[in-house]
Amino acid sequence: MHARLALVVALLTSACAATAVPKPAPPAPVRPTLARELVAQDPRAVRVFDGRSAASFGWEQLVERAGASDVVLIGENHGHPLGLACAAALFEDLVALHNCAGLSMEFFERDEQSRIDDWLSGLSDESTFEKRTQRSSTGSTGGNWPAGHRAMLHTAKRAGRAVIAANAPRALVRLVREKGYGALDALTAEQQRLVFVPPWLVDGRYREEFNKFMAGDWGPYEAEQAARLESVFRSQSLWDWTMADSIQKGLERGIAPLVHVVGRFHVDHQGGTVQAVRILRPDARIFVVSFVDEQAEALEEDDRGRGDAVIYVGK
């Protein structure tokens, strides 16, 4: 009886703690090298600014603040070599310090989860994984499989950490854009499981910035253009809420800090993904890191509030 009780206690204490349980003080950081090899300069040598106070702080404090959170939302510029190397370095350091840290990515869709799991567990090799998920590293920005993303997944694989395919499948996003959320009702339960239907469409600055960006292509809001704008934002919202649901499901599994990598439009200035996570998981401690593809010696006024940490990585 005592042996059985001891075994149960050992299992409970070794498991990843729920996010409400305070994390123990981390050990001294181990400096992994995978992210450092991606670019000529040290990705951990970038200048980091507090998105509210504008104060500059160092890499160690960035890792500490991110590690004290439940969710770390990394807003990237797709294909930016230094930005993605910095994101990979941050994930490396969090994995080295926190036994339950894991990864979530916009760039893999929920119906690709089993293919990721097969590669992580060794059931398939990397070449097979790339073919099954249609990854390609061709092009100046690394295609849909840039080096920074590969480094993050290799860090997770090496450390035995979870990787969550967080996004809604493109076919279902397209269906929602063309026919609305009601079209999902005709799908099977398994298909519906792959998305999270927004309870409402968020408003505020996120919606305004989206409209401004899209209107740049479409000109003044005529009735037809306004309807198209609404349909595209509807599909954009399906991304945000599905990713947020994937994040909160990861938190339920005890993954923390859960690092979610996403295009920064979704998280800048309390973007749609941030708002959806706050609604689905109001108790979660969220830390937003925004990588800005500009050069600056101080926090620009336009970037105040963009994230909890703002990092300039140049053009």
| Per-residue confidence in pLDDT tens, the chain, 315 aa | 444 434 333 333 345 643 333 333 344 344 455 666 677 689 999 989 999 999 999 999 999 999 999 999 999 999 999 999 999 999 999 999 999 999 999 999 999 999 999 999 999 999 999 999 999 888 777 788 999 999 999 999 999 999 999 999 999 999 999 999 999 999 999 999 999 999 999 889 999 999 888 876 555 556 677 788 899 999 999 999 999 999 999 999 999 999 999 999 999 999 999 999 999 999 999 999 999 999 999 999 999 999 999 999 998
pLDDT for 255 equals 98
pLDDT for 32 equals 54
Contact 289, 74 (CB under 8 A): yes
Burial class (CB in 10 A: 0-12, 13-18, 19+), 260: buried
Q: Name the pairing type of β-strands 56-57 and 48-50.
A: antiparallel
Domain containing 87 — which CATH number? Answer: 3.40.50.11550
pLDDT for 14 equals 40
C-alpha of 192 from chain center: 22
Q: How many residues are recorded in the chain? A: 315
Specify the pTM: 0.87
pLDDT for 217 equals 54
28 within domain boundaries:
no
Distance CA 137, CA 111 (A): 21
pLDDT for 220 equals 57
Number of helices (H) and strands (E) in the chain: give both, helices first.
Answer: 11, 8
14 within domain boundaries:
no
283 within domain boundaries:
yes
pLDDT for 137 equals 86
pLDDT for 219 equals 57
Dihedral over Cα of 185, 189, 191, 195: its sign: positive
Distance CA 233, CA 1 (A): 59
Dihedral over Cα of 54, 57, 63, 69: its sign: negative
pLDDT for 227 equals 84
Number of compact structural domains in the chain = 1
Find tokens 């269906």 and name the residue. 175
User: Measuring CA to CA, how many Å separate 102 from each of 50, 97, 145, 152, 253?
Assistant: 24, 12, 19, 10, 11
181 within domain boundaries:
yes
37 within domain boundaries:
no
Range of the domain at 80: 47-312
Q: Which of 82, 96, 94, 59 is nearest to 148 (CA)?
A: 82
10 within domain boundaries:
no
pLDDT for 10 equals 39
Distance CA 240, CA 247 (A): 11
- With residues binned 3-state (H G I as helix, E B as strand, rest as coil), the percentages for the chain, rounded to 5, are 50, 15, 40
138 within domain boundaries:
yes
Distance CA 239, CA 64 (A): 29
pLDDT for 154 equals 97
20 within domain boundaries:
no
Provide the token pair at 236.
């954009």
pLDDT for 36 equals 62
